[in-house]
Amino acid sequence: MLAWRRFVERFWIGLMIAMLSIAIISVLGIIGIVLWRGFGALSLEMFFSLKFSPVTGEPVGIANSIIGSAYLAGGGVLLACLISIPLALVLQREYLSENIITAVTVILDVLWGIPSIVYGAIGYLILMSCHQRASLLGGIVTLALLSVPIMTRAAMNVISLVPVQLRETSYGLGATRWETISRVIFKQALPGMATAIMLAFGRAIGDTAAVLFTAGYSDKLPKSIMEGAASLPITIYYKLMMPGQLAQRQAYAASFVLIFIVLIVSAVSRTLSNRLSKYTVK
């Protein structure tokens, strides 16, 4: 019997190690392939310039895409924060009935599941109906719409983990609902919310379909919010479609930049989350 129990124990540990290995190998494999294919094109000139190749006339620098993506994802997530965090805070029993909260939660879950191309199409329709061309603003609004359900649901989950006794403590001292939510629940949930925001940023910066019709593409750096802007995912897509060694290598180099940004954002979110949890109740 004991031997059997030991076998079961070893089996599950072995399975976990195998799964973990698959995950690690996949990540390292993707980074490795992208680096191997794109290494030749990685250069400072590529990151910081907008130069064109004198031979083919193709763009060499991808500064427009890096800056464009940063604007799009940063702006989109910032706008989504302004909607999602108050929404998550108000979707509490303090303010709304259980039925309303459930109904909104279901709607948010459905919105989360909608493919981003649909958001892109809706954004495009809105732009068309306003007689506007694809622009940075269009991309930001579309990415914000895409991020709201992700961020709101993640923030709601974090808030639901705040111990009920913490609310009681605050109410017991004569705090109002808003004081309890803003000074206690929000503070306790803040580290988790930082993660939620970074999660949304990661999705927004990597999304292609949502910005394809709405942000357009431009070889230049956007000077105004109404101009079209390049983004990394679309640059990768265009370059992969192009013939020629250089364009292909650049596509992988751009992919590496995108992965690198996501890794950095993830590391920053972890550090931020740890910092913010200094005062939280464990």
Which residues of this protein are in contact with other proteins, per CB under 8 A? 98, 163-176, 179, 183-184, 187-188, 278-282
Whose Cβ is closer to other proteins: residue 184's or residue 210's? 184
For the bound state, the minimum distance from the C-beta of residue 278 to other proteins, rounded and expressed in Å, comes to: 6
For the bound state, the minimum distance from the C-beta of residue 35 to other proteins, rounded and expressed in Å, comes to: 42
Whose Cβ is closer to other proteins: residue 53's or residue 169's? 169
* Largest pairwise CA distance in the chain: 75
Query: Length of the chain in residues, anyone?
Result: 282
Looking at residue 31, its amino acid is I
Whose Cβ is closer to other proteins: residue 189's or residue 265's? 189
For the bound state, the minimum distance from the C-beta of residue 173 to other proteins, rounded and expressed in Å, comes to: 5
For the bound state, the minimum distance from the C-beta of residue 274 to other proteins, rounded and expressed in Å, comes to: 13
φ, ψ of residue 15 to 5 degrees: the values are: -65, -45
- The CB-side HSE value for 76 (13 A sphere, CA atoms) comes to 38
8 Å CB contact between 61 and 48? yes
Whose Cβ is closer to other proteins: residue 37's or residue 187's? 187
Nearest to 61 by CA among 45, 42, 37: 45
171: DSSP letter = H
Residues paired with residue 59 on neighbouring β-strands, in sequence order? 52
For the bound state, the minimum distance from the C-beta of residue 165 to other proteins, rounded and expressed in Å, comes to: 4
Cα–Cα distance measured from residue 280 to residue 282, given in angstroms and rounded to the nearest whole number: 6
Please, which residues have CB within 8 angstroms of residue 52's CB and are 6 or more apart in sequence?
Answer: 58, 59, 60
For the bound state, the minimum distance from the C-beta of residue 189 to other proteins, rounded and expressed in Å, comes to: 9
Nearest to 148 by CA among 77, 56, 216, 199: 77
